[in-house]
Amino acid sequence: MKYLADIGSYFIMLKQVFSRPTKGSVLRELILKEIDELVIDSLGIVIFISFFVGGVVAIQTALNISNPLIPDYLVGFATRQSIILEFAPTFMSIIMAGKMGSFITSSIGSMRVTEQIDALEVMGINPLNYLVFPKIIALLLYPFVIAISMFLGILGGWVAGVYGGFSTSDAFIRGLQEDFISFHIVYAFIKTFAFAFILATVPSWQGFFMKGGALEVGKASTNSFVWTSVLIILTNYIITSLLLS
């Protein structure tokens, strides 16, 4: 029954997020603040992880190709497919569930512990619209982060493959172009928008409805990461079944 109550409170929260909107000028400042904290501050770890994981994918693919009948452009092809279809949109979002999600939950949870949320309610402000709605709008830029991840993942694969002696530049680039399906990009960004909504709302729900003190803030951050990751994986399965099967 607790899970049903949690699901109900989540959807009730979503309804309240889009009701009683905050004043436009205040909301604009909040959105810019969230873009800086959630999107801009995440670029460093995204750039670092994407580049080196792309390199690892290229190396692992090359090392497992021993049959001379397998075309030499397979390294670039496998790197492109792995990065675009799964790594950049899905696994990077799971990493962001730890970074963004924990930050969102801990910040809102701390406001709950210090009764700042109660103060917003006393002032007649809708705290869910004030706290959660700017995060949803800010993470509409999340596909931009994933696009950077895709580019750097493929670039890292090219650098590792070519300068590591596992592939030639011409063969790698041919692999990137071989059997390219443009809908795969559309599919990846559709997933990304869904993941962005989960990243903005689930950690906010965990932080907003937590009870207790400072210790419970840490527990809520852990639960936030777990549930956000689970929902991202389930959503990934559903969208993949609907769009690619």
Enumerate helices (H) and strands (E) in the chain, giving the number of each: 12, 0
Q: Over the stretch 188-205, which tens digit does the pLDDT of each residue have?
A: 999 999 999 999 999 999
Sign of the alpha-carbon torsion through 165, 170, 176, 180: negative
Number of folded domains in the chain? Answer: 1
Is there a domain that residue 11 lies in? no
Q: Is the dihedral of CA 89, 10, 119, 216 positive or negative?
A: negative
pLDDT at 149 over 90: yes
* CB-CB contact of 10 with 125 (8 Å): no
Report yes or no on 26 lying in a domain.
no
Burial of 192 from C-beta contacts in 10 A (0-12 / 13-18 / 19+): buried
211 pLDDT above the threshold of 90: no
In a domain, 8, yes or no: no
Which residue range is the domain that position 83 belongs to?
31-240
Assess if residue 3 is contained within a domain.
no
- Through-space distance between the first and last CA atoms of the chain, rounded to whole angstroms: 34
The pair of three-digit structure tokens given for residue 10, joined into one six-digit string: 């989540």
Q: Is the pTM of this model over 0.95?
A: no
What percentage of the chain carries pLDDT values higher than 70? 98
**Nearest Cα to Cα of residue 135 among 109, 101, 111:** 101
Q: What confidence tens digit (pLDDT) does each residue in 53-77 have?
A: 999 999 988 888 766 777 778 888 9
In a domain, 21, yes or no: no
